[in-house]
Amino acid sequence: MTQNPSSNPPELRPDLAPQLQVQETPRAGQPTLGMVSLGCPKALVDSERILTRLRAEGYGISPDYTGADAVIVNTCGFLDSAKAESLDAIGEALKENGKVIVTGCLGAEPDYIREHHPRILAVTGPHQYEQVLDAVHAAVPPDPNPFVDLLPATGVQLTPRHFSYLKISEGCNHRCKFCIIPDMRGRLVSRPAHAVLREAEKLVTAGVRELLVISQDTSAYGMDRKHDLNPWKGDEVRSHITDLTRELGRLGNPKDLWIRLHYVYPYPFVRELIPLMADADTAVLPYLDIPFQHSHPDMLKRMARPAAGAKTLDEIAAWRATCPDITLRSTFIVGYPGETEAEFQHLLDWMDEAQLDRVGCFKYENVDGARSNALPDHVAEEVKQDRWERFMQKAQAISEAKLEAKVGQTMDVIIDDIDEDGIATCRTKADAPEIDGNLFIDEGTDGLKVGEIVTVEVDEAGEYDLWGKLG
């Protein structure tokens, strides 16, 4: 059996969304916009909302610059490297097209953008949909055809049609020293529970098989609304992550629908979610994406992380006791200012005990405006690199052992792609799109369709991926 290299190598940025996918052809004469969507899944949802509004006004959507009357670049400003990537994308769009509108997180720094690219038409900040529309109208006046330009009920999706991101809130109330997201996106603003559920229900009705719940802090959902009650199907539902997750899990049969939770901070009440994941009759997957960032209590204090005092190993043990099949994914930062070798070793030892299933890792870097920039004892670049390599070696060994233990097991997978050679790229319940591993089926795939959920028997394992045959 030929082992294709994993599409998810350890150096992959764990904050990135899948590549934008546009699956329509503009009609002749239709005013057309190109879209470049950078950054995280939350930014991809913003891009979908912008394009849905524009599509409703009669604009066509181009998957590239060719033939587009203007280009919208949805930027990322999370790290300095992401800022550089955004500036490069703006420059490329200016070169290839000439008419460029900038939005997104880096749009919160318009002077910085214009300093590098003075020719851009307009700059708006994150989730400023109306301002983006105004800029588009000024650059490319709408010309709708009411007999042709009918918006599908589901709006515009930039992810493959079988999965979709479901954003439940904007902003964040935390003040982690390495992060400037609250400065860019503001404080927590949760969507009403019934609005989230209505959107989810429409997506499921339209054929979406996997909903990925995202926000800046999923655990905090509804806190700003004081967990108010919302009308839903003749009853009421609280704006609370436990209640919302329970209702999402009832939207479909677990054989046909997957609900996956991302960005869940490890508050004590998270344990209330675990019984939902253990329930075989709910669509909620036994998958928890929790950004621990580090293990050493002094490091967490220097980061100003929420729940810094939580006994995370005890929590992990409690989650696994309730739901033995739970998959735990997390991200970590190595080389944070002041990190000592002893503190880093504490993290490696913690990893041995925690045995997380999926792990991403950043090397710390300064971000303009972050409070961590002013901390003393910054770590040398070569030390950061050495720690990152040692950390990833540890994570890879854990992943390899866990995957090897799955050989011989039967499990459900969702099909993401089938290539011209008939090799199907799939994901198990333990794998989120882009950031986790894959399962490959390389024979007997005739008749299978992208988006199907099928049963396979695992017959081979690698460092990050699995191979299997249809059961």
Cα gap 153→187, rounded to integer Å? 30
- Domain 163-405 fold: pyruvate-formate lyase- activating enzyme (3.80.30)
Nearest to 396 by CA among 351, 432, 431: 351
- Mean residue pLDDT across the chain: 86
Check whether 426 is labelled as a binding-site residue. Answer: no
Cα gap 4→7, rounded to integer Å? 9
Residue that the structure tokens 């909903």 belong to:
211
Nearest to 168 by CA among 254, 103, 230, 233: 230
For residue 287, CA distances in Å to 244, 274, 284, 311 come to 16, 9, 8, 20
Place 152 in a pLDDT band, splitting at 50, 70 and 90: very low
Please check whether residue 238 is in contact with residue 229, taking contact to mean a CB–CB distance below 8 angstroms: yes
Q: Is 451 exposed, middle or buried (0-12, 13-18, 19+ CB in 10 A)?
A: middle
Q: Secondary structure of 401-465 in the HEC alphabet?
A: HHHHCCCCCEEEEEEEEECCCCCEEEEECCCCCCCCCCEEECCCCCCCCCCCEEEEEEEEECCCC
Into which CATH architecture does domain 32-139 fall? 3-Layer(aba) Sandwich (3.40)
Check whether 76 is labelled as a binding-site residue. Answer: yes
Output the pLDDT for position 11: 43
Give me the amino acid identity at 397.
A
Burial 147-168 (b: 16+ CB within 10 A, else e): eebeeeebbbbbbbbbbbbbbb
> Which H helix or E strand runs over 328?
strand 327-334
Lowest-pLDDT range, 65-69, 356-360, 382-386? 65-69
Output the pLDDT for position 457: 96
Q: DSSP secondary structure string, 124-159?
A: --TT-HHHHHHHHHHHS-----TTT-PPPTT----S
Q: DSSP secondary structure string, 167-207?
A: E-EE------TT--HHHHH-S-EEPPHHHHHHHHHHHHHTT
Determine phi and psi for 214, rounding to 5 degrees.
-135, 160
Q: What is the pLDDT of residues 39-58, one digit of tens each?
A: 777 778 788 888 877 877 77
For residue 315, CA distances in Å to 343, 358, 359 come to 21, 17, 18
Output the pLDDT for position 153: 45
Check whether 361 is labelled as a binding-site residue. Answer: no
The residue-averaged pLDDT of 104-132 equals: 89
Output the pLDDT for position 17: 53
Q: DSSP secondary structure string, 206-241?
A: TT--EEEEE-S-GGGTTGGGTT-EEEETTEEEESSH
Which pTM value belongs to this model? 0.75
Check whether 172 is labelled as a binding-site residue. Answer: yes
Output the pLDDT for position 25: 63
Q: What is the pLDDT of residues 318-329, one digit of tens each?
A: 999 999 999 999
| Superfamily holding 409-470 | Nucleic acid-binding proteins (2.40.50.140)
Output the pLDDT for position 147: 43
Please tell me which residue, 291 or 5, carries the higher pLDDT value.
Answer: 291
Q: What is the pLDDT of residues 196-254, one digit of tens each?
A: 999 999 889 988 999 999 888 999 999 999 999 999 999 999 999 999 999 999 999 99
- 235-238 vs 163-167, strand pairing mode: unpaired
Could you tell me what percent of the chain has a pLDDT over 70?
A: 88
Output the pLDDT for position 165: 86
Output the pLDDT for position 157: 61
Q: What is the pLDDT of residues 318-366, one digit of tens each?
A: 999 999 999 999 999 999 999 999 999 999 999 999 999 999 898 998 8
C-beta neighbour count of 353 within 10 angstroms: 11
Nearest to 164 by CA among 44, 54, 336: 44
Domains of the chain by residue range: 32-139, 163-405, 409-470
